[in-house]
Chains A and B, each alone.
Chain A
Amino acid sequence: MQQRNGSTVQVRNLVKRFGSFVAVDDVSLDVSRGEIFGFLGPNGAGKSTTIRILCGLLAPTSGQALVYGFDVAKEPERVKQSIGYMSQRFSLYDDLTVEENIEFFSGVYGVPREKRAERKAYAMKMAGLEGEHDRMTRLLAGGWKQRLALGCAILHEPPIVFLDEPTSGVDPMARRQFWDLIYEMAEGGTTVFVTTHYMEEAEYCHRLALMYKGRTIALGTPAELKKQQGVGSTMDDVFIASIEREEARAQ
């Protein structure tokens, strides 16, 4: 569809202020189709705020962001038709069954009737919950719940998916399985935006932006970033050095 310069997400000088607090400070980036783009940074760095702006949930204070060619400030509803979003909290209804959650989100996403059954089966399989239709969502363990949340977020087959700390509070095994799903989606041509504060997850991304105090302080592939830092560096080194540079610059 509408893509410019081959990228599906274009961000230019994005700023978001809450009163006097600058949550997102002049962020610019481009993400192309099928890419897994990571936002790495400590809590409060502005990762979630940026993602929420890109999802049309928050209005930017200044700057521009195009998602799938639509301006998030002017056409947030068009943006919403092209994206899937999964927040940190695996926002499912605990008091509905697995199947009822899927049916509800299919309905509000406007999945065509004839595709519902197929998408439902896909989501159930993806979550590893085949045959568990009537299971209450509240009774699911973290990993299953997380995968079901992802399944519910992509029922309408969005070309871009935003995942806000999708693996927080999930055990390493489930985290690994979840990343397999992310790779699967990316191979299928879906653009995946993911925020994390786990260093090892940063390595899984095709490209990364390090965020600190609202700014992107480093941007590149994990290999590039480590190489810049010096031979034998780890992501941890990159991260710490970047923050130190930023602190020095700020002073």
Chain B
Amino acid sequence: MWERIREMIRKEFRQTLREPRMRGILIVPPLLQTIIFGFAVNLDVEHVRIGWLDDDRTAESRTLQHGFAANRTFELSREASSERVAQDMLDRGEVQAVVRVPPGFSRDLKSGRQAEVQVLLDGSNSNTAAIIGNYAASIIAARNRELLQDRQREKLVGRTQNGPVLLRLPAIEPDRRVWFNPELRSRNYFVPGVIVNIITLVTLMLTALSIVREKEIGTMEQIMVTPIRPIELMLGKTIPFALIGMFDMLLVTGIALLIFHVPLRGSFVLLGCASALFLLSTLGIGLFMSTISETQQQAMMGSFFFFQPAFMLSGFSFPIRNMPEPVQWVTYLNPLRYFMDIVRGVFLKGSGVDVLWPQMAMLGIMGVLILTFSAMRFHKRLD
């Protein structure tokens, strides 16, 4: 039995490693994805271009403008002369937000009434818009506090016989960036997630494609007339890609640690074990795709048909708890979801088996079910 499996594996590796294109597929996508998610994908908002529409034109409104200009989140693009111009700037994407100071701003401030500032946001990217809104609000709030302090000070500065006394008010500067640990945060969040992405893609696609390719060129028929057993054929066709998946996992982990200094707070062995459990599902699905496909294109389409939604619902970029409830139930059937939890837990929180065992158990159960189902469909007959 092992003799035949070994022969299959050797053949698979020879074919895969000989072809420069295939060698490329093993290395380039993991590298590229890790680098993209490490460097380019940055959800922290910086260098937001804003327009300024000042209908008040007083010292107070200008002080507020300086407040925005001094903040490195914002870049004052230009002043709009009218609401129409401001609208136009937003429409053409010249700015992502316009701050409008309405007439009477200064008068309201001085009389102690509530003064309002309007922030017009480009909501086409709702996430960014919300963040910009928060930043803008925090700047306005800061200005507000200053004004309050001034007011308080005026009240507290009283005259004594020795002259004026200045009372110092305790000023508490809030940290406005509690939510957004700039740069590092999204990188730490995404780069470990790439492991899930790459393992899924590589094992799913390579398994499905390598089997279907043999159907296409006719060698599968040749193998089917040999005394090889279906289980041997299956193992021979999945073990090589399991090993390649593991190799890619190591590669991405290596880059994450060495180049991006993503912390690996938990156990590497645990990560390896979880990856192995996860592979059961992806290999099983790859096998299944090969049983329903006659051509490599079909296998490719089938794989993506699974991969795209599975990846969207894995929690990689969109938190599952924000999804509508029925969709959340669907994610419980998604092996990627559990593996994503494990990977992030191990990397960022240093979680151990005591915390992650439910996810690992689910991966094990799903893997065995999917593999068994696919294996039942995978036989040595043409019809």
Q: A87-B218, A91-B218 are in contact. Are A57 and B225 (CB under 8 A)?
A: yes
Q: Report whether B228 and A108 are in contact in the complex, using a CB–CB cutoff of 8 Å.
A: yes
Q: Report whether B218 and A93 are in contact in the complex, using a CB–CB cutoff of 8 Å.
A: no
In the complex, which residues 103-160 of chain A have their Cβ closer than 8 Å to any Cβ of chain B?
103-110, 153
> Quick one: which of A88, A108, A110 has the most chain B CB within 10 A?
A108
B15 is an interface residue with CB less than 8 A from chain A = yes
Q: A57-B221, A59-B383, A108-B223 are in contact. Are A95 and B15 (CB under 8 A)?
A: yes
Task: List, in ascending order, chain A residues with CB within 8 A of B224's CB.
Answer: 57
In the complex, which residues 1-25 of chain B have their Cβ closer than 8 Å to any Cβ of chain A?
3-4, 6-8, 10-11, 14-15, 18-19
Q: A57-B382, A96-B14 are in contact. Are A104 and B225 (CB under 8 A)?
A: no
Task: List, in ascending order, chain A residues with CB within 8 A of B229's CB.
Answer: 77
Task: List, in ascending order, chain B residues with CB within 8 A of A58's CB.
Answer: 381-383
A81 is an interface residue with CB less than 8 A from chain B = yes
A81, A91, A96, A100: the one within 8 Å of B222 (CB):
A91
Interface size on B, residues (CB 8 A): 27
Q: Report whether B15 and A96 are in contact in the complex, using a CB–CB cutoff of 8 Å.
A: yes
Task: List, in ascending order, chain B residues with CB within 8 A of A93's CB.
Answer: 11, 15, 219
Nearest Cβ in chain B — how far from A119, in angstroms? 14
Bound Cα distance from A4 to B380, whole angstroms: 27
Bound Cα distance from A137 to B231, whole angstroms: 28
Q: Report whether B227 and A85 are in contact in the complex, using a CB–CB cutoff of 8 Å.
A: no
B14, B218, B226, B382: the one within 8 Å of A108 (CB):
B226
Bound Cα distance from A87 to B219, whole angstroms: 9
A55 is an interface residue with CB less than 8 A from chain B = yes
B217 is an interface residue with CB less than 8 A from chain A = yes
Q: A52-B382, A107-B3 are in contact. Are A77 and B219 (CB under 8 A)?
A: no
What is B's interface to A at a CB cutoff of 8 Å? 3-4, 6-8, 10-11, 14-15, 18-19, 217-219, 221-229, 380-383
Q: Other CB < 8 Å A-B pairs besides A59-B383, A107-B10, 9 of them?
A: A52-B382, A56-B381, A57-B225, A57-B382, A58-B382, A91-B219, A96-B15, A105-B226, A153-B222
What is A's interface to B at a CB cutoff of 8 Å? 18, 52, 55-59, 76-77, 80-81, 83, 85, 87-89, 91-96, 100, 103-110, 153
